[in-house]
Structure 1
Amino acid sequence: MSIRKYQADDLDSCLEIFEGNAPKFFDPSERDDFRRYLETLNDPYFVFEQDGKVVGAGGYCQGPKEMGLAWGMVRCDLHGQGIGSALVRYRLERIAQDHPDQAVAIDTSQHTCAFYEKMGFETLSIKEDGYGPGLHMVLMRRPPSLA
């Protein structure tokens, strides 16, 4: 198991992970946005490899007031095995090293907000159907002191 920087040839693996997590965790309409994000990547983005295969991915970006976690996901059949936690911790550690005074924000769904609460995030707001029908947008924030 290892975490490494995303490479262009990881695109298909990342899209497969996305598709396996739709429609519960991502609205299928977001697929093209995710593809464009990866094809024009300007932010740090990482993949989690297990047995030589990409099984998770996630990145972060600089927002106007704080850092933000971006497009975090784990292969659907591997949920609950610690891969997502490892990816979040890795990204938070990188942010703490490079931007120690920055809070970290994420917009996620109602299905994963409890996971992020365990990582020190607090819910700021919930927008019903924010991503699509039945998929609410939960805005969360983690103070910089928790790095």
Structure 2
Amino acid sequence: MEFFPYTEGYKDACLALFDANCPQYFAENERADYAQFLDPVPDGYRVGVINDAVTAAYGMRVDEMTARARIVWIMVAPSSAGSGVGTEMMNNAKSFAVEASAPVIDIAASHLSAPFFAKHGAVVLSETQDAW
């Protein structure tokens, strides 16, 4: 898999990736928020491409005040689950954080995605029962 900076040309593929992850990982009403997020071509958003198909997408933001990174809008094609795509994406995100001198990556995860992040070293700091 190769990672590329997000450009407008990837918008439809990213929205299709979102749709493939809905409703299991995202609520349908979040699609408009995601589309709005993509419109200004967000800094730090990347797409993972295999054989010309967008298979993964995620964004990284760094808070200069706290030197903490944050993963935003992370998703993998369900057809790629278990293939190592997620691990490649997390390794790419960790490299980004190291290059940005951000020793911590914050993640907001659901109960469904938390086990994936735990495999990559995430630690639960807080939890909300019966909610996202």
Shorter-chain TM-score above 0.5: yes
Identity %: 25
CA separation in 2, counterparts of 1:24 and 1:82?
20
CA separation in 1, counterparts of 2:2 and 2:41?
21
- How many aligned positions are there? 130
CA separation in 2, counterparts of 1:16 and 1:60?
21
CA separation in 2, counterparts of 1:123 and 1:93?
21
Q: CA deviation at 1:114?
A: 0.9
Gaps of 5+ in 1: 131-135, 137-147
1:99 matched to which residue of 2?
101
SS of the residue 2:54 aligns to: strand
Paired residue type of 1:71: W
CA deviations over 1:2-32 (Å, ceiling 9, x no partner): 1111111100000011111011111111111
1:19 matched to which residue of 2?
19
Paired residue type of 1:108: A
Q: Which moved more, 1:55-64 or 1:2-11?
A: 55-64
CA separation in 2, counterparts of 1:32 and 1:92?
28
SS of the residue 2:43 aligns to: coil
Misfit runs of 4+, over 3 Å: none
Q: CA deviation at 1:127?
A: 1.7
Tell me the TM-score normalized by structure 2.
Answer: 0.90
SS of the residue 1:69 aligns to: strand
1:82 to 81, 84, 93: 84
Paired residue type of 1:46: R
CA separation in 2, counterparts of 1:113 and 1:29?
21
